[in-house]
Amino acid sequence: MTSDDSKEEVIPIIEIDKLIHEPARLMIISLLYVVESADFLWIKRQTDLTDGNLSSHLSKLESAGYVTIQKTVKNKKTNTSIKLSGGGRKAFEEYRKKLTQILESTNI
């Protein structure tokens, strides 16, 4: 195996989106990918993450432009609606494609 060959095998792994690759964020994005929108509590229940953990992951995803977070106040209660953005959808599809490529090339 030449160094060029190994480089070719490693490049897709390096290119993988680390923001999505983190297990908790991958769970959040996967859920948001299959629904139109969801509130904070629904994602929390589905992922079993703590409030702080989920909040922190959502902030990171929002900063990257992968999700849009909309806060509304209804009956003195704050409702947080979360939606996967167009960019987030595209990034997730790209992530899946790359992950599949990597796993196929390593015969897993």
Partner 1 sequence: MSDQIDLKGIEKKAWRSAFQDGIWDIYFGSLFLGMAVALFGDSFGLAPELGSMIIILCWNSLTVLFLILGKKFITTPRIGFVKFGIKRKKLKKRMLGFLIFNLILAFLFLFVNISGIFELFNIGGFIEPLVVGLLLITVPLSILAYFLEFHRLYIYAILFGLGFFNSELLFPLVGSPLDLFLSQGLIGIIVILIGSGFLIQFLRKYPLSKA
- Interface with partner 1, residue 96, by CB under 8 A: yes
- For residue 76, give both structure tokens: 């003195």
Running DSSP on this structure, what letter comes out for residue 54?
Answer: H
Residue 87 CB neighbours (<10 A): 13
Strand 67-74 versus strand 77-84 pairing type? antiparallel
- Size of site (CB under 8 A) for partner 1: 24
Per-residue binding letters, 50-89, with partner 1 (x by CB under 8 A): -x---------------------------x----------
Contact pick of 30, 56, 68, 85 for partner 1 (by CB under 8 A): 30
